[in-house]
Amino acid sequence: MTGTIAQLLLRRRLPIRAVRPSRLIVVGLTMMAVAANLCAASIDVGLPVTALAFSTDGNELLVGCTNQVRRYGWPSLTELEPLLQLEMLQINTVRLSPDGRKLLVAGGDPSEAGAVHCYAWPQRTRLYSVELHRDVVYAVAWSPDGTHWATASADVECKVADADNGQPITTFRGHSRPVLTIAYSTDGATLASAGVDQTIQLWNARDGQHIRTLNNHVNSVTALWTLPNLNGRERLLSSGKDRTLRLWEPTIGRLIRFERLDAIPAFVAQANSTSPVFVVTQAGEQFMTANAPWTRWERREAPWGSEASSPIYSIALPPNGKQLVLGTAVGRLVVVPLEDVH
Q: Domain coordinates of the chain in residue numbers?
A: 6-340
What is d(CA 51, CA 178) in angstroms, rounded to the nearest whole number? 19
pLDDT reading at 339 higher than 90? no
pLDDT reading at 172 higher than 70? yes
**What does the DSSP 8-state code read for residue 209?**
-
pLDDT of the residue at 308: 64
Q: Per CATH, which fold does 6-340 belong to?
A: Methylamine Dehydrogenase; Chain H (2.130.10)
pLDDT reading at 12 higher than 50? no
Least confident of 42-56, 109-123, 292-306: 292-306
What is d(CA 296, CA 94) in angstroms, rounded to the nearest whole number? 30
Mean pLDDT over 178-202 rounds to 98
pLDDT reading at 160 higher than 50? yes
- Mean pLDDT: which of 26-35, 130-139, 330-339 is highest? 130-139
pLDDT of the residue at 273: 87
Mean pLDDT over 164-175 rounds to 98
For residues 230 and 317, the model is more confident at 317
The helix/strand/coil state of 251 is coil
pLDDT of the residue at 231: 85
Where residue 309 falls among pLDDT bands split at 50, 70, 90?
A: low
pLDDT reading at 28 higher than 50? no
Mean pLDDT over 242-252 rounds to 97
What is d(CA 41, CA 325) in angstroms, rounded to the nearest whole number? 10
pLDDT of the residue at 230: 86
pLDDT digits (tens, 9 = 90+) for 102-146: 999 999 999 999 999 999 999 999 999 999 999 999 999 999 999
Mean pLDDT over 80-106 rounds to 96
pLDDT of the residue at 184: 98
| Mean pLDDT taken over the chain | 88
In degrees, to the nearest 5, what angle opens at C-alpha 319 toward C-alphas 316 and 325? Answer: 25
For residues 307 and 193, the model is more confident at 193
pLDDT digits (tens, 9 = 90+) for 252-278: 999 999 999 989 998 999 998 889 999
Exposed, middle or buried: residue 101 (CB in 10 Å: 0-12, 13-18, 19+)?
Answer: middle
What is d(CA 184, CA 66) in angstroms, rounded to the nearest whole number? 26
Least confident of 72-81, 231-240, 302-311, 333-342: 302-311
As a dihedral over the C-alpha atoms of residue 174, residue 179, residue 185, residue 187, rounded to 10 degrees, the angle is 70
Mean pLDDT over 209-213 rounds to 98
C-alpha distance from residue 285 to each of 1, 87, 246, 304, 318 (Å): 20, 34, 20, 9, 21
Evaluate whether 202 touches 236 at the Cβ level (below 8 Å): no
pLDDT of the residue at 4: 46
pLDDT reading at 82 higher than 90? no
